[in-house]
Amino acid sequence: MTDQLPTPPRAEARPTRFERHGITVTDDYAWLRDKGYPKVEDTAVLDYLKAENTYFDAWKKPHEALVDTLFEELKGRQKEDDRSVPVKDGEWLYWWAFEPGAQYRQWYRKPVAGGADQLVFDEVAEAAGKQYFRLGAFEVSPDGRLAAVLADDDGSERFKLKIRDLATGKDLETVTEVGIGSPVWSADSKAVLFTEVNDQWRSYRARHHRLGDDPANARTIYEETEDKGFSVGLGESQDKSLIFVATGDNRTSEVRFVPAAEPLGPLTLVSARQKDRLYEADAAHGRLWILTNDRHVNFRVVSADPKHPGEWTEVVPGSERTYIRGLAAFRNHLVLTTRQDGLDQLVLANYRDGGQERIPFTEASYNAGLGSNPEFDPPAYRLSYSSMVTPGTVYDYDPKSRTLTTLKVQEIPSGYDPSQYATERLMIPARDGKQIPVSLVYKKGYRKDGSQPLFLYAYGAYGYAIPPSFSSARLSLLDRGFAYAIAHIRGGDDLGYDWYLQGTATHRWNTFHDFVDAAKGLNAAGFARPGRIAIQGGSAGGKLMGVVVNTDPDLWGAVIADVPFVDVVNTMIDDTLPLTPGEWPVWGNPITDPEAFKLLLSYSPYDNVKRQAYPPMLVTAGLHDPRVTYWEPAKWVARLRANKTDRNLLMLKTNMGAGHGGKSGRWESLRETAEDYAFVLTQLKVAQ
C-alpha cells in the first residue's frame, strides 16, 4: 500500500528515562516537545512535523480526484445561503446567515416592531487574511447598543475580548487578550464580566471591567486559589436577575452568585464544595433552582431561598430510570433536559409540585434538546431535533396547545430521500455482561452477511454522549455501501451518570473493552468482519483508538485518530500542562497514587506500542492545540513507525495554523472530512 510513496519520515530516537513509584519509563521522543511551548520554534521539531505533512501530501496527490469528488458531494449537501431561524431577545430578532460561497457567517438583527436588517458582526471580514478564525461569543448588552465579542485567530483558545458599538461597527476597546467562555453584562450595560486563562490555559479567575476604564484596572471578583484543577466560569440566570460564578472540575463544583444590578457586590456562596458532588443553579420567582447529584447518581432538582442558599428542598427526586442532565428556569416551567433509557427527553416541570409533562417525539432513536431561548417568558420553547435519518429540525413547542411547530428543516440541496435509509439500535453484550447501546444507519439493501464495510465511531469520556443525530457528510459513506455505527460505550453518560462513572478512573478499561466488544458484536450480527471496519475517534476518543490498535489490531481496516490524547502517562504527571490537574479526578493522579500510575501505564497508547502489525492509520494534530498538545500524536506516530512490522499506511497530518478543532471555515472543515473519507475508501478498497 505504500510502495508508490517516498520513504516515510523517521524521528530520531533520543532516549530519556524517568522513575516513578519504582517503575522506570523510557521515552525516546520527548524531544518533540518544544521547550518554549506554547511557542513552537525548535527547527528540528518543525522540520519533523513538516516532513510528516509532506508525506501526507505525497499520499494525497494521486487521490486528489477522489478527495475533490467527496468534497463536492459534501459541499453539495450544504445550503450555500443558509440562515438560522430568527430568535427574539427583547426588542430585537437575531439570526446568522451565509452568503453563497462564504466560509463564515454574518450576524444580523432587526427590530421586532419592524425595520431594516442590520449587519452586526461580519465573520467573513474578520477572518480575511487569517489562517484561522473562530467566534467564541457574541453577547449583546441589555440596552442593545453594544456587544462583547470573543474571537480566536490561531486556534490556541485564548480569545481576545473586545467591546463593539453595534451602531457604527467599531471596536471601542480591547478588554483582555486571554479571555475564554461567555462574558456577562451588568444589568445597566455599563460593565462586562469575563473569565481569563493563565499560562497553563486554565480559566482561573472572573473579572469585572467598567466600560471606559483602563482594562488593566479590571477588578477580580473571584479567583480560584484552593484547587489548581478547578476552572472558573460565568453565567446568568434565565430571568437575568443573577450572575453566577462557578468553579469546579469534572467531578466537583461550587457556585456563587451576585445580583446583575450590583455586580461588584459581595458574592454569595450557594453551598461549599464537597468532593464528588456536582451542582448548578438557575433563578426564577425569587428562588434558586438547583440540579445536583448529592443524593442520587442521576441527579435531582432542589429549591432554595437565595437568603439561605444552602438549605435545599427537593422538587424533583432522583430516579434510576431518568437521568436529569440540565435545567432552565423559565417563567412558567422548569424545563428539564433528561435522558430515559438512553433517549433524550424534554420535560416541563411545575414549580409548585414538580408535576411533569414530556414533549413527545415519535422516532425510536433521536437527538433532541433546547435550542436558543434567551427570554424568560417565551410564548413557545425553541427546540432542536434530528435522528440518524431525519435532518436537523428546529421546532417551537407551545405548552398551552401542546403542539410542535416546524420552523426549519435542514435542506440537502443535492437531494436526500430518507426513505432510502434505515436506522436501528442494537444492544450488544460486553464481556462483563453489560449491554452496550449501538446506533446504526445504512442504506436499505445493506447485506448483513459481513460482506459490506462498517464505519464505527465512539468517544467514551467526560460523560459526553455521542448523539444518534443526522450527518449529511455521512451519506457519502452510506451511498458507497457502508453502515455507520455509534457505540455508546461507558465513559459517556448515554445510560445515566453511572454509565459515565463506570468508564472513569479504576474502571477505565471498561471503555476500551466496550468498544472492542461492540465491534465484535457487530461482526457477529453481520455488519462487517475483521479488517473491514473503519474506526474514528478524537481527543479522548483518539486515546480510545490508540488503545484498541494496540490490543486488537486485526479487527480494524482503517483508523482515524484525531488530535489523540495518547501520551497519557507523561501528560498526567506534568501538572504544568493546561488540563492535567483537572483530569486527575477522572483518570487518577499518577503523581501521588502508585496504583493510578500503574493503571495509566497499562493502557497509555504511546507507552504500549509494541512490535506487531498495525492497521492503516491517519493521525491528526494541531500545532496550537491547548487541549491535546501537538507532541502527543507526533511522539506516538514516531514510536509506531519505529516498531510496526507491517507495510500499512501510517500518516501524521498537523494543522500548522489551527488547534484542537482543526481548520476553521465550513468548506475547509469539509475538505478535511473528504480527506478522511478518501483515506478510509482507499484502505478498505471500497469502490469509489
Which of the residues are catalytic?
539, 625, 660
Q: Indicate the pairing of strand 556-562 with strand 533-538.
A: parallel
Could you check whether the bond before residue 38 is cis, i.e. omega within 30 degrees of 0?
A: yes
| Measured CA distances, 399 to 332, 345, 358, 403 (Å) | 9, 15, 10, 7
Q: Concatenated DSSP letters for 642-687?
A: HH--S---EEEEEETT-BTTB--SHHHHHHHHHHHHHHHHHHTT--
Q: How far apart are CA 464 and CA 325, in angstroms?
A: 11
Helix 64-76 × helix 666-683 angle, to 10°: 130
Q: Kindly list the distances between the CA atom of residue 672 and the CA atoms of 26, 51, 108, 158, in Å, as whole numbers in the listed order.
A: 34, 19, 29, 24
In degrees, rounded to 5, the angle at the alpha carbon of residue 308 between the alpha carbons of residues 303 and 310 is 65
Cell of 505: 478512573
> Three-state SS for 356?
strand
CA–chain centroid gap for 263, Å, is 31
Q: How far apart are CA 667 and CA 615, in angstroms?
A: 29
What's the distance, Cα to Cα, between the start and end of the chain in Å?
Answer: 17
Grid coordinates in use for 51?
516532513
Amino acid residing at 520: K
For the record, the C-alpha cell of 649 comes out as: 499506511
| The three three-digit cell numbers of residue 487, written as one number | 457505540
Position of cell 428556569? 329
Question: 195: buried, middle or exposed (CB in 10 Å: 19+, 13-18, 0-12)?
Answer: buried
Alpha helices in 235-364 (DSSP H): none
DSSP string, 583-639: HHHHH--TTT-HHHHHHHHHH-TTTT--SS----EEEEEETT-SSS-THHHHHHHHH
Coil, strand or helix at 398: strand
Task: Show the cell assigned to 43.
Answer: 527547527
Grid cell in block for residue 319: 430516579
Q: Smallest Cα–Cα separation from 154: which of 672, 661, 667, 540?
A: 661
DSSP classification of residue 532 = -
Cell numbers for 389, please give them: 435519518
CA distance 653 to 490: 29
Name residues whose C-beta falls within 8 Å of residue 506's C-beta, 6 or more positions apart in sequence: 588, 595, 599
- Give me the residues paired with residue 196 across strands: 179, 205
Q: Contact 205/223 with Cβ under 8 angstroms?
A: yes
